[in-house]
């Protein structure tokens, strides 16, 4: 019998959810012209949370026109210090409503409440605070001879893994630089973006400066193809990113893409081993592995492979999988049925290819979309599970013999978003880091973020940077 079993510890704050949401265009909630709505469900219970408007081409056009009008009428002309006041107001409102936003994010997306509470929402607010401070100091982001000018209307398309945070990464710098926005959240996680629209309205942001339209891929494609959009910022899959790059080519639209990844997470034999295990766990099981920069490809020095497998096998048994609203849950729900099917398919491929699967042994909840924390050993570079992004709580473990081989294997991927290194030698950390083709390299840590630090990819992980002064420059015409 269990002698110290954690009792349920549900988050008790309630998030206000409307039965139905319209589109937030020109400062008002409006019905979609086509009259179509879709449902957003809680992936942990499969219950419908709300009906959300589907924006058709006409709605996209209305939103872009509203953004254009607001750009010309208010936002580009406003004193930068006044723009900052609105952004600060939004930042404060997110902080004040952090608990209910965390609950909303967890209910709509399935991530554990401890992550939405301690990571997504505070970091979202931090981005607004950070970029608010930049609004009247833009000349300091410029090179000699450059003058900061806004670009115009930005179309921003965000994914379902960090819904509010990804919106914050895009909205905050765009506003600070004087651009207006049409934001499209992901189909499965629209609720916190809609809450952000409400916050913007309550902050008195002039109508049309931030428009939020919900819908599916067709809505996103209409936004990307709209002739009066000056800039597209997209975070999501490499496949869609490529389609966007093709469709915007030659249009004069500026483009930033933050796409997939298959990050190498390198553990040397001299690593602080227990902390490396924590880094591995954080790297792949954080947000159920729905992380574009997840450390999904573990490269371990052959001499410590066995002990890492032993330690990791024990460690994943202590992960608590279940109700995302429980404060002690470590692994929440997979975002959607579609994603769950994709994870299962790739895991099946891994087994067929001869890799050995290790999983946490726990009962999965009867309802909802869940997948246990898993890892594969005996993975080879040629396996699909070593090359393709699984975007789930599934780690592939490979080995290397020398630092050169580690670097070679790490870079042997079309992606290049993030990487991690674990070694007790500072010099080795820095030496290896300079050879890794990845936008961010974490040394003896993983998944660390800060608004002042740029983030973005190499090659098929995209281009352009978000965060820091680099992220700011993506929204300036110079």
List residues binding another protein (CB under 8 A): 2-9, 114, 118, 270-276, 278-279, 310, 318, 327-328, 424, 444-445
- Min separation Cβ 272 and another protein, Å: 4
Q: Nearer to another protein by C-beta: 275 or 402? A: 275
Distance between start and end Cα atoms, the chain = 67
Pairwise CA distance, residues 241 & 423, whole Å: 35
Catalytic residue among 115, 177, 187, 292: 292
**Which residues have a Cβ under 8 Å from the Cβ of 185 and sit 6 or more positions away?**
158, 163, 167, 192, 193, 194, 212, 214
3-state secondary structure of 41: strand
Token readout for 404 is: 């050169």
What residue spans of 71-137 are helical by DSSP H? Answer: 80-96, 98-109, 113-115, 121-134
- Min separation Cβ 443 and another protein, Å: 10
Q: Nearer to another protein by C-beta: 362 or 477? A: 362
- Min separation Cβ 106 and another protein, Å: 15
Q: Nearer to another protein by C-beta: 203 or 269? A: 269
DSSP state of 478: -
Cβ(280)–Cβ(267) under 8 Å? yes
Phi, psi of 414 (to 5 degrees): -70, -15
- Min separation Cβ 327 and another protein, Å: 4
Q: Nearer to another protein by C-beta: 378 or 444? A: 444
Number of helical H runs and strand E runs in the chain: 16, 18
In what helix (H) or strand (E) does residue 51 lie, and over which residues does it extend? strand 47-53
Interstrand relation of 356-359 and 418-422 (parallel, antiparallel or unpaired): unpaired
Token readout for 453 is: 């630090």
Q: Which of 264, 300, 270, 294 is nearest to 282 (CA)?
A: 294
Active site annotation includes 177 = no
Q: Nearer to another protein by C-beta: 194 or 304? A: 304
Q: Nearer to another protein by C-beta: 310 or 338? A: 310
Pairwise CA distance, residues 229 & 82, whole Å: 24
Active site annotation includes 100 = no
What residue spans of 135-179 are helical by DSSP H? Answer: 163-176
Pairwise CA distance, residues 420 & 239, whole Å: 25
3-state secondary structure of 181: strand
DSSP state of 71: I
In what helix (H) or strand (E) does residue 50 lie, and over which residues does it extend? strand 47-53
- Min separation Cβ 294 and another protein, Å: 17
Catalytic residue among 11, 258, 301, 474: 258
- Min separation Cβ 100 and another protein, Å: 18
Name the region of 216 (left: φ>0; alpha: ψ -120 to 50; beta: rest): beta
- Min separation Cβ 419 and another protein, Å: 17
- Min separation Cβ 169 and another protein, Å: 23
Interstrand relation of 418-422 and 440-443 (parallel, antiparallel or unpaired): parallel
Residues with a known catalytic role: 258, 292
């Amino acid at each position: 019998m269990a002698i110290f079993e954690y009792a349920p510890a549900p988050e008790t704050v309630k998030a206000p959810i409307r039965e139905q949401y319209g589109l937030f265009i020109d400062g008002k909630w409006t019905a979609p012209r086509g009259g179509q709505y879709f449902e957003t469900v809680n992936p942990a219970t499969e219950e419908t949370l709300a009906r959300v408007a589907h924006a058709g081409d006409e709605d996209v056009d209305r939103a872009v026109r509203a953004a254009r009008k607001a750009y010309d009428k208010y936002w580009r002309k406003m004193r930068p210090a006044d723009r900052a006041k609105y952004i600060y107001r939004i930042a404060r409102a997110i902080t004040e409503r952090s608990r209910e936003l965390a609950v909303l994010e967890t209910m709509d997306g399935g991530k554990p409440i401890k992550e939405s509470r301690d990571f997504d929402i505070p970091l979202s607010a931090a981005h607004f605070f950070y970029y608010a401070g930049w609004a009247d100091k833009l000349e300091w982001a410029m090179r000699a001879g450059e003058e900061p000018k806004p670009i115009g209307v930005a179309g921003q398309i965000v994914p379902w893994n960090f819904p509010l945070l990804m919106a914050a990464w895009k909205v905050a710098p765009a506003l600070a630089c004087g651009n207006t926005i049409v934001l499209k959240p992901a189909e499965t996680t629209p609720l916190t973006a809609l809450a952000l629209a409400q916050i913007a309205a309550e902050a008195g942001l002039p109508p049309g400066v931030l428009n939020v339209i919900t819908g599916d891929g067709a809505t996103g494609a209409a936004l990307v193809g709209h002739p009066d959009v000056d800039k597209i910022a997209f975070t999501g899959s490499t496949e869609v990113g490529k389609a966007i790059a093709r469709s915007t080519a030659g249009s004069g639209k500026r483009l930033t893409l933050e796409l997939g990844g298959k990050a190498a997470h390198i553990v040397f034999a001299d690593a602080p081993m227990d902390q490396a295990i924590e880094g591995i766990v954080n790297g792949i099981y954080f947000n159920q592995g729905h992380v574009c920069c997840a450390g999904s490809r573990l490269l371990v020095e052959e001499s410590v492979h066995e002990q890492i497998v032993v330690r990791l096998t024990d460690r994943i048994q202590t992960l608590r999988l279940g109700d995302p609203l429980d404060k002690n849950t470590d692994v929440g729900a997979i975002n959607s049925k579609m994603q769950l099917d994709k994870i299962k398919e790739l895991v099946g491929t891994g087994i067929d290819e001869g890799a050995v699967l290790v999983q946490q042994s726990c009962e999965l909840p009867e309802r909802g979309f869940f997948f246990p924390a898993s890892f594969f050993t005996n993975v080879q570079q040629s396996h699909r599970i070593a090359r393709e992004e699984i975007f789930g709580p599934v780690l592939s473990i490979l080995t290397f013999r020398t630092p050169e081989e580690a670097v070679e294997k790490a870079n042997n991927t079309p992606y290049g978003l993030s990487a991690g290194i674990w070694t007790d030698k500072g010099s080795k950390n820095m030496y290896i880091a300079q050879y890794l083709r990845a936008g961010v390299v974490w040394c003896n840590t993983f998944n660390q973020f800060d608004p002042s630090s740029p983030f973005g990819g190499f090659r098929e992980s995209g281009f352009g940077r978000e965060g820091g002064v680099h992220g700011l420059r993506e929204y300036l015409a110079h």
